[in-house]
């Protein structure tokens, strides 16, 4: 569950969090300088932020799929129950 949150949820909401932090910082700066040119929260670039989140999520999932795991020519050995203890499955390189 934690892996799914980190790989899918976090990259999807990260652009929104960054935009919110920037908006808060920019508003504080505008108030200090006496100007008001920062758009309100409800007029934000939502489609662009959502697209950036989807692109970031896709990039992370593709990187994970291509960069981790066993080589394609490996042999998989399924988990086995021996003496009441489950021995986990593993990949063995092909000889």
Q: What is the pLDDT of residues 69-85, one digit of tens each?
A: 888 888 999 999 999 99
Question: Model-level pTM greater than 0.85?
Answer: no
Q: Residue 8: which of 57, 52, 64 has the closest Cα? A: 57
54: pLDDT strictly greater than 90: yes
Complete DSSP assignment for 10-35? HHHHHHHHHHHHHHHHHHHHHHHHT-
31-45 pLDDT, tens per residue? 888 887 777 778 889
pLDDT (0 to 100) of residue 14: 95
Percentage of the chain exceeding pLDDT 70: 100
53: pLDDT strictly greater than 80: yes
């Amino acid at each position: 569950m934690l892996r799914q949150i980190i790989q899918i949820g976090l990259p999807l909401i990260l652009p929104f969090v960054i935009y919110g932090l920037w908006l808060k910082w920019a508003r504080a700066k505008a108030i200090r300088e006496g100007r008001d040119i920062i758009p309100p929260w409800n007029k934000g670039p939502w489609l662009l932020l959502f697209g950036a989140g989807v692109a970031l999520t896709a990039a992370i999932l593709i990187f994970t799929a291509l960069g981790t795991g066993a080589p394609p020519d490996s042999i998989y050995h399924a988990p086995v129950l021996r003496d009441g203890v489950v021995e986990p499955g593993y990949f063995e390189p092909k000889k």
